[in-house]
Structure 1
Amino acid sequence: MASLTVGNRRPVRLADIAKAAGVSHGTASNVFSRPEIVREEVRERVKAAAEAMGYGGPDPKGRLLRAGKVNAIGVATAEPLSYFFDDPFARVMMAGISQACDATGAGISLVSAANNEQLAWNIQSALVDGFIVFCIEGGSRLVQLARERKLPFVALDLASEDGSVATIGIDNVAGAAMAARHLTGLGHRRFAVLALQFVDGRTGPVSPEQVQTAVYAGTRDRLTGYFQELSRVGVDTSKVPVYETANDATSTIAALEAIFGVAEPPTAILAMSDRMALVALEWLSARKLKVPDDISIVGFDGVPEAAVSEPPLTTVAQPIAEIGRLAVKAILENDGTTNRRQLPVELIVRASSAPPRG
């Protein structure tokens, strides 16, 4: 219940307002919560008393908590808050989440933080009915924190064998295999991989040993899908350069400089996100390298920007917005069961891929 403390006096409460206005506690409460059922003269008298005593009205948090539901969903990530607005994948996902929340009248609370301590506090204090957890970075930590709240939660893109964690995702192995199969079918045999992070806080070239110790199974699964198809046509995958990035321009450009700094660069790049692939398109264009004449690129995600890039990007499209909508439904309609859903992906062939020269 809202209150105001002046000096050392005790807080002003709704009961004080009711007494000052000469009405019952229930009538005073109705003035703030159901004013249409209170006579105008009584409403004005209660409001005048509240204004004179500096009372701002009942605290909505108290009412919501008493009801047992707050009709809001927390969307949590260990990334900075700007991630929700800067990343193409996150923007599409949030559009799907927003559409589902709009349809049900539910609110959204974005939960992120610059460090683990602040993240833990933000998740513990968020006034929500459950969490949608973006497992991009710090995924296992986010799941642990969400579990500690003892509220329903669903993890997105968390390749986990823990059957107690509700997840919604895709078959990363199959999706990556589609991309590699497309390029090998065009005749490519020299490849490089722009990878998402295998562990937190690391970028640069990745050894086979580092791949096996990956924290993020989704990244490892995409590389597995790539390599399965490359091996099938005789490509020695031990010689395929793999560069771990933070899925941003800085680390992607550093990877590209290394990839094209050798005597015999690849004819095709497999990028584990459209964001990296779009950075690569700009970087190559600035260096007068033509896509797909000099180099083919296939991304992963199917973000809207991929369709309007120059050239339009071939990509493995996942149903991003649908994942968001299903995640909202999993929270709002939670019945105590743990559901693990895997949605299909499709290869969208555009102008960024073609047979290699010669």
Structure 2
Amino acid sequence: MTALTSGKTRPVRLADIAKAAGVSHGTASNVFARPEIVRDEVRERVKAAAEAMGYAGPDPKGRLLRAGKVNAIGVATAEPLSYFFDDPFARVMMASISQACDATGAGISLVSAANNEQLAWNIQSALVDGFIVFCIEGGSRLVELARERKLPFVALDLDSENEAVAAIGIDNVAGAGLAARHLAELGHRRFAVLALESADAGFGPVTQEQVETSALYSGTRDRLRGYFAELSRFGIDVSLVPIYETLNDEESVRAGLEHIFALPQRPTAILAMSDRMALHALDWLREHDIAVPGDVSIVGFDGVPEGADSKPPLTTVAQPIAEMGRLAVKAILENDGSLNRQLLPVNLVIRASSGPSPA
């Protein structure tokens, strides 16, 4: 319903409701914002007037703009929106972020896009108080866009060398070293690496030099450095270790294993840079009657819940994913303008997918 003014109609305002109910503007406002402090009979009178005039309540956008806060966090990634639901790591992270937001009453806005132009628009138009940036792919672009909004933001899994950005992450080099050392101490000497992305050219075999020169995929580079530094300590010639770049999905992991197991010397140990690719690898190995860990051992990276239930249960380098999500929410909601960088510890969870090297 609208109010009539000089022959013209305008939307009903809170002042109109207050006048119709015979109360002050402040009392009418409290009926909608803090009803518990208004006497029952006054509250019912104001609500009846509002219902009669078709007034649903104050515009929340106006209240939020006046307060300077929208009480919502943007979670941004350059991956497709399905990433938040398909990837085991992202699901655990989002569950933690959601729980932390629920505890404070904050909302969540998922921000992703199919291309850079759409991503820029989505970040610029998101009605949020700050961003949690998933730097899985295209991290530098996400950081640049978040910085342009001049809102607080914290990056997850960002290059630890970028000291100018608030970030929560892990030491990828040290984590990867735990996995490689574990397998080497079990007697393995023939290795293969299923890698995360290191270039924009798709998936396929890559060299150590190609990974090292990748400027955009520092997580891949650092995990490979951790693997190879530890393997070198055991006298393993890492130049002979095949590296297959995957897209962290089933198709590219299967293609990688077809390539690796067609080589003249088959590995007895596989280092997978994510649990997701390790779980796909377990399926492929089982289908090809390659016993795990009897013929080949495999170690993942992340520590997602699915790894505990796989067949066999997956040995992995576990990140404190839930803690990372909780700290990221806290960094946005309690932002004081300071640059906060936190490096969290990882640990090796040994399960049945790793065992002694076959004789």
Same fold (TM over 0.5): yes
Matched residue, 2:57: 57
Q: Over residues 102-136 of structure 1, what are the superposed CA-to-partner deviations in whole Å (9 max), with x where a residue is unaligned?
A: 33333322222222233222222222222111111
What is the correspondence of 1:100-139 to structure 2 with a 5 Å cutoff? 100-139=100-139
Please give the alpha-carbon distance, in whole angstroms, between the structure 2 residues aligned to 1:301 and 1:90. Answer: 10
Task: Answer yes or no: is 1:266 the counterpart of 2:250.
Answer: no
Please give the alpha-carbon distance, in whole angstroms, between the structure 2 residues aligned to 1:34 and 1:337. Answer: 34
Q: Is the 8 A contact 1:299 1:315 kept in 2?
A: yes
User: Is the partner of 1:357 in helix, strand or coil?
Assistant: coil
Shift of 1:48: 4.3
Structure 1 pair 294/115, CA: closer, same or farther in 2 (3 Å)? same
Shift of 1:206: 1.3
User: Is the partner of 2:295 in helix, strand or coil?
Assistant: coil
Task: Answer yes or no: is 1:157 the counterpart of 2:157.
Answer: yes
What is the correspondence of 1:166-181 to structure 2 with a 5 Å cutoff? 166-181=166-181
Task: Answer yes or no: is 1:208 the counterpart of 2:208.
Answer: yes
Please give the alpha-carbon distance, in whole angstroms, between the structure 1 residues aligned to 2:25 and 2:315. Answer: 65
User: Is the partner of 1:342 in helix, strand or coil?
Assistant: strand
Matched residue, 2:256: 255
Q: Which moved more, 1:168-177 or 1:76-85?
A: 76-85
User: Which consecutive residues of structure 2, in runs of 5 or more, have no partner in the other structure?
Assistant: none
Q: Is the 8 A contact 1:138 1:200 kept in 2?
A: no
What is the correspondence of 1:175-254 to structure 2 with a 5 Å cutoff? 175-200=175-200, 202-214=202-214, 215-254=216-255
Q: How high is the TM-score relative to the length of structure 2?
A: 0.91
Shift of 1:258: 1.0
Matched residue, 2:332: 331
Matched residue, 2:72: 72
Partner amino acid, structure 1, of 2:25: H
Matched residue, 1:282: 283
Q: Which moved more, 1:268-277 or 1:187-196?
A: 187-196
Shift of 1:9: 4.8
User: Is the partner of 2:252 in helix, strand or coil?
Assistant: helix
Shift of 1:342: 0.8
Q: Which moved more, 1:328-337 or 1:150-159?
A: 328-337
Structure 1 pair 40/181, CA: closer, same or farther in 2 (3 Å)? closer
Q: How high is the TM-score relative to the length of structure 1?
A: 0.91
Partner amino acid, structure 1, of 2:175: G
Q: Over residues 263-289 of structure 1, what are the superposed CA-to-partner deviations in whole Å (9 max), with x where a residue is unaligned?
A: 322111100001100000011101111
Q: Is the 8 A contact 2:76 2:112 kept in 1?
A: yes
Shift of 1:78: 1.6
Q: Is the 8 A contact 1:97 1:325 kept in 2?
A: yes
Partner amino acid, structure 1, of 2:111: V
Please give the alpha-carbon distance, in whole angstroms, between the structure 1 residues aligned to 2:126 and 2:324. Answer: 23
User: Is the partner of 2:236 in helix, strand or coil?
Assistant: coil
Structure 1 pair 113/52, CA: closer, same or farther in 2 (3 Å)? farther
Task: Answer yes or no: is 1:14 the counterpart of 2:14.
Answer: yes
User: Is the partner of 2:230 in helix, strand or coil?
Assistant: helix
Please give the alpha-carbon distance, in whole angstroms, between the structure 2 residues aligned to 1:160 and 1:149. Answer: 23
Matched residue, 2:355: 354
Q: Over residues 39-92 of structure 1, what are the superposed CA-to-partner deviations in whole Å (9 max), with x where a residue is unaligned?
A: 555545544444444432212222122122233222211222222222111122
What is the correspondence of 1:306-345 to structure 2 with a 5 Å cutoff? 306-345=307-346
How much is the aligned-residue C-alpha RMSD, in angstroms?
A: 2.3
User: Is the partner of 1:338 in helix, strand or coil?
Assistant: coil
Shift of 1:29: 2.3
Task: Report how many aligned residue pairs link the two structures.
Answer: 354
Partner amino acid, structure 2, of 1:329: K
Please give the alpha-carbon distance, in whole angstroms, between the structure 2 residues aligned to 1:38 and 1:308. Answer: 54
Q: Is the 8 A contact 2:208 2:243 kept in 1?
A: no
Structure 1 pair 296/204, CA: closer, same or farther in 2 (3 Å)? same
Please give the alpha-carbon distance, in whole angstroms, between the structure 2 residues aligned to 1:109 and 1:217. Answer: 27
Identity %: 79
Q: Which moved more, 1:27-36 or 1:85-94?
A: 27-36
Q: Over residues 234-287 of structure 1, what are the superposed CA-to-partner deviations in whole Å (9 max), with x where a residue is unaligned?
A: 222222111111111111111111111223221111000011000000111011
Shift of 1:157: 0.5
Q: Is the 8 A contact 1:137 1:200 kept in 2?
A: no
Please give the alpha-carbon distance, in whole angstroms, between the structure 1 residues aligned to 2:33 and 2:89. Answer: 40
Partner amino acid, structure 1, of 2:67: A
Partner amino acid, structure 2, of 1:299: G
